[in-house]
Amino acid sequence: MAKGKTLVIGDFILDEYIFGSVEKISPEAPVPEFVLNGDIEYKAGGAGNVACILHGLEVETYLVGQFGSDEKTMAFLDTSLPDDLGLWMVNCRQTITKTRFIDSHYNQHILRVALEHREDLDDRVEMAVKDIFAKQGPFETVIFSDYDKGLLTEKTIWDIRGVLAQIDENIAVLADPKIKNWRGYGPTVMRYLPDLDCVTPNHREIAEIYGVSADEVYTDAVHFADKVVSEQQIKTCIITLGAMGAAYCTAEGPQGHIPTRPREVFDVTGAGDTFFAVVSYLWGRYDIEEIIHLANEAAGQTVQGLGNQMIDKRTWGDRFIERKVMRGEFNDG
């Protein structure tokens, strides 16, 4: 069954990769001197990466994100994003940009520079969501891809959830949340909001939320997933644990830990995006353990290359079917 139309709402990040070489230590300070003698590449990061992954899985995908009108952003949008990826651009002063300097000879990540400018976008975001539903709806799934870069705030999240409740309470709503906006994904006494279907925080975020160590979350992740489900009134919580896989709990009762297999790690950029995108892609069509197994596998694939390594329908569609055949849920026909 094909995945229905999906709306991604979140922080668009422009990932810039500058390739060169380190040939000596600077005479001015004990730091490497980086020589710009290679290419410059741009990739969609943040919510943009999530949207591109879903698009690569042949999902009709739309993205509400913040974009500046700077030269880098305009060139990227003109040349590097799929033409049929629907963009609803919330105008801001400057696109969030993460610039990475890479030593080409040793494939070594030398430095990352962040360019961020925050501004109040609340009213513009809500208007964009209403506009896209009026012109492109209905949507089967809405996902919040939150990087705490200014597009999403507690108020904005509550307002958008209110808009969704008025349109259709059966829309599947998933979130990859950030701590600053944590309350926005839970209940509010101000109005009725349907419970979110799923959140996918990582273990460090859960540790900060509950004031415990990351090690404590590692050793008892299922317990903390259960706390999230009960306290935040969320139907399913999946806590990602890096190399340890993920733990989950559902409001209906099932809970557990799903390990992942060891891999050689080159670059963890985009692994969390891939996990979340695959969970969203499979949501409602597979059981929770199968979803996590496949999301773990997809995220593991991305850490073995540089930057945001894309998965697509060509390489992943058959794997989904094969897994289900092994479980006896498909016949040979």
Alpha carbons 164 and 62: distance in angstroms, whole number:
15
- Take residue 241 and report the two structure tokens written for it: 């644990």
Going from the C-alpha of 87 to that of each of 28, 99, 153, 259, the distances in angstroms are 46, 23, 20, 36
Cis peptide leading into 138, omega within 30 of 0? Answer: yes
For residue 19, give both structure tokens: 């390739």
Distance linking the first and last C-alpha atoms of the chain: 15
**Distance of alpha carbon 283 from alpha carbon 243, whole angstroms:** 23
CA distances (Å), 96 to each of 12, 102, 129, in order? 7, 19, 20
Catalytic site residue 273?
A: yes
How far apart are the C-alpha atoms of 183 and 234, rounded to whole Å?
12
Q: Which residues in 171-241 belong to E strands, given as ranges?
A: 172-176, 198-199, 236-240
Q: How many CA atoms lie within 13 A of 3 on its CB side?
A: 26
What is d(CA 9, CA 93) in angstroms, rounded to the nearest whole number? Answer: 19
Residue in 11, 15, 226, 273 annotated catalytic: 273
What count of other Cβ atoms lies within 10 Å of the Cβ of residue 211? 7
The burial of 135, by beta-carbon neighbours within 10 Å (0-12 exposed, 13-18 middle, 19 or more buried), is given as exposed
Nearest CA to 281 out of 143, 180, 165, 184 is that of 143
Residues 6+ positions from 220 with CB-CB distance below 8 Å: none
What is the Cα–Cα distance from 81 to 44, expressed in whole angstroms?
8
Residues with catalytic roles: 273
